[in-house]
Structure 1
């Protein structure tokens, strides 16, 4: 079999077939032949850089470098090429935690050196940043949380430096303080898409994040002197299957309403919107670190892109938007009351009944295509819902509060602004 390139040169496929006896590389970054003419593969498996001997069906080297989504390059010290390659001369350079790391084998172990970084570093993530959260800082400093496609969440801090010369003044930059660590076994290969935090009456500030592969994470956030600390409470893939296609796109977190509280429980309500069009309503028990799916909010027929929460006269509401231009409002308090009613008034009663399915209290197609931005605000006797979409338009819709608070929806249509 010959393959001809654009410059007229041709290549011949020498060998084709399955490689047996290995667990598989997710990305093959290069190949080489050893001095004994054995074929070597260089690539990535989950978060590790791996060197695999095809002929011996064995792993020569494995090193945790954060995965292929980070900037990386590898080669052989002393100018060695792909022929007569010696794996002991391999060097791997990659970017992580604002620093350039260089790793190379030393006997059976791998030694790692860090260079650069510090305040001059410019790399925080190796892929797109999907979500940011602003946290209170100290003085002029601010803390920012980021969630990225590379699977990590990072805490950044602003700092100011003086600029001398013709452009004298202050320059504000970011410093990466830490990477939030979940359970790596569950987190492998899962992009982080969304975050939400809530201040609770009993458990302080709770941070919930979601992403690809059915992944949800919960952290408890505390401020100690000049530091912001995060304690990981739970990292869980909600599906036990190996191929998890569900991707959480947006998350909102509520403190549990006092009417449902029990003296021995600390619980937050999590509304997780996914790319299958459903919003899943969970209860997360902070003490037992247990998730419970209590309701399915169903209306959207395509991926839910954004969400926003609102408290109205003591009731919890959720606004969501999807790729088809639809926007919906949900009464979360009513959903919790239905769940509690089905359990004899007990929200925490485990039942084998079919999952409760909830419909929105208001819905409307506002945009011609995807709605990427969404916020909702109480203003006098109305609720103002602002949205922006792929159709390059911004819309503000005024909804009378009585339509949302009434047990049966009214007939008056909301007016666009």
Structure 2
């Protein structure tokens, strides 16, 4: 930072401003500040310091005393845990040094070089010195980087980065951009995982090496993270001046009715094992009980259940100017909620909700319907624990003078979403997996998997009907109709927790019975193709995507661990 200019972190940007800042460290164009068991990354915008990301230290280290950049270029956190002085490495998530000094209410000094680390402190009037050879650079080699401390609840692939002709210069590629003959070692998939340990991790998965590199971890949640959604995938610099790398916006949600929005930027970094680096910027957050606390007549209202959990997320990208994307959330309290993202994710607002299912909603999935000479329609499908499916027409809902969005009961509360366009009873119990895919005929394949191990596949048609009292495009109302319907009662021996329609002819499913099964579609009911046994217990989610004609598809399964498969047709 320029010493001739003064930058201030204003009170309006943080509710923690009254807490003391215990350490400052400049790293490039960012300023790291330690505060109340966490450290903030800040950067200068319009003459003021703006918080970018809040990261927590190790469990129990609530008193951060400082931050240091060690000789190998990484950052370590200095703090006190009870009566111990701790040096914590946030990249490897390990305690490098622990000194039993009696606590932090004393004078102390710290120094680190490549040869040794020294910690001096006062105790009972004596000057004590702790010295360790090797400093904060670990001599041992990590065979496999740590991922999560508890089970993985969601897996989501963001995009693919391919290394350019020169070493370590990647560029962003969409799945459809991959050409036949692409060399596998040059491709690296960027995958996001979330877990019960309250963290969201960004991983780099090379196509053929079988390794997984943890690029960064986001620790903003206070409870379990159960769902994640991605939107706005692109390249650094934008379409006008594309640069090597990948950018995306991410929405994560889970326990305590908590939701966070942040952006990631993956750029080349030859100094790391993955040759990639990931930068995270926190944009906004939302909790349901915060809105209740702001109500003037809250003593007359029932407070939102603090144990409400977001079970699934779906991003609905609108084509209306001036409106950002919608985020649909399946909630454990029986609601389907719609959130509006504005200002590139910096504003997260609860727009509408419905309690149509009247029981825990397990899954939501959004898809679009496009037909010649017709307006693009945005549809949402929700699934509950009773095995029912509901389809909502979001395009009609957001139209001006629409009656689908009913006014709220009280001012300040979200709108009420009307009745769905179509409801189906697909299963006899909860639906844990859901996916759709458009067909060449203009219809949609819809597949769902249930807790009883069954699969349900049907073809959905979207027909536009003209209202008698309305004329023009505004009078067109979509009607959803099921053309074909098939069921596989004993597809798996346990809950089907992962499902993906790869093409109009291929579908893949994963279950707690630890089987990954591929199905043939398009000729009546789904028929078995092949199956393999995976080693992840209690698989909670699966994502599958095409790599190239030579390497087929990749399937990532998350549960009590993470496993990635390459499948060739």
- Give the TM-score, by structure 1 length: 0.64
Q: 1:367 to 1:93 in 2, by over 3 A?
A: farther
Candidates 146, 149, 158, aligned match of 1:123: 146
Candidates 238, 241, 248, aligned match of 2:288: 238
- 2:421 aligned with 1:371: no
- 2:203 aligned with 1:156: yes
Q: 1:300 to 1:114 in 2, by over 3 A?
A: farther
Cα displacement (A) at 1:222: 3.2
- 2:101 aligned with 1:106: yes
Check the 8 A contact 1:181/1:232 in 2, yes or no.
no
Alignment of 1:6-45 (within 5 A): none
Q: Deviations over 1:169-205 (max 9, x none)?
A: x7512121111243xxxx33x1111011112799973
Q: 1:66 to 1:246 in 2, by over 3 A?
A: same
Distance 2:429 2:203 in 1: 34
Q: CA RMSD in A?
A: 4.1
Check the 8 A contact 1:199/1:255 in 2, yes or no.
no
- 2:420 aligned with 1:382: no
Q: 1:92 to 1:270 in 2, by over 3 A?
A: same
SS in structure 1 of the partner of residue 398 of structure 2: helix
1:65 corresponds to? 58
Distance 1:133 1:411 in 2: 30
Distance 2:144 2:37 in 1: 22
1:194 corresponds to? 227
Check the 8 A contact 1:275/1:304 in 2, yes or no.
yes
Candidates 379, 395, 416, aligned match of 1:356: 416
- 2:285 aligned with 1:285: no
Candidates 448, 462, 467, aligned match of 1:401: 462
Q: 1:297 to 1:413 in 2, by over 3 A?
A: farther
Check the 8 A contact 1:216/1:238 in 2, yes or no.
no
Check the 8 A contact 2:204/2:215 in 1, yes or no.
yes
Q: 1:378 to 1:410 in 2, by over 3 A?
A: closer
1:33 corresponds to? none
Q: 1:385 to 1:67 in 2, by over 3 A?
A: farther
SS in structure 2 of the partner of residue 239 of structure 1: helix
1:206 corresponds to? 249
Cα displacement (A) at 1:109: 3.4
Distance 1:374 1:271 in 2: 14
- 2:452 aligned with 1:391: yes
2:354 corresponds to? 297
Candidates 361, 368, 382, aligned match of 1:320: 382
- Give the TM-score, by structure 2 length: 0.48
Q: 1:273 to 1:412 in 2, by over 3 A?
A: closer
Distance 1:309 1:235 in 2: 22
SS in structure 1 of the partner of residue 161 of structure 2: coil
SS in structure 2 of the partner of residue 283 of structure 1: strand
Q: 1:145 to 1:107 in 2, by over 3 A?
A: same
Check the 8 A contact 1:325/1:370 in 2, yes or no.
yes
Distance 1:288 1:412 in 2: 36
1:273 corresponds to? 330
What 5-or-longer segments of structure 1 have no aligned partner? 1-45, 49-62, 69-86, 161-169, 346-350
Q: 1:113 to 1:249 in 2, by over 3 A?
A: farther
Check the 8 A contact 1:323/1:370 in 2, yes or no.
yes
Cα displacement (A) at 1:108: 2.9
2:66 corresponds to? none
Check the 8 A contact 2:368/2:378 in 1, yes or no.
yes
Ranked by relative contact order (alpha carbons within 8 Å, sequence separation 6 or more), the top structure is 2
Check the 8 A contact 1:210/1:216 in 2, yes or no.
yes
SS in structure 2 of the partner of residue 364 of structure 1: strand
1:222 corresponds to? 265
2:213 corresponds to? 175
1:21 corresponds to? none
2:126 corresponds to? none
Q: Deviations over 1:211-260 (max 9, x none)?
A: 111111111233444544332101232312696121101111122323xx
SS in structure 1 of the partner of residue 148 of structure 2: coil
Distance 1:269 1:364 in 2: 24
Check the 8 A contact 1:308/1:374 in 2, yes or no.
yes
2:51 corresponds to? none
- 2:249 aligned with 1:254: no
Distance 2:224 2:424 in 1: 31
Q: Deviations over 1:341-397 (max 9, x none)?
A: 269x9xxxxx76872222221111111211111001111242211011111111111
Check the 8 A contact 1:97/1:123 in 2, yes or no.
no
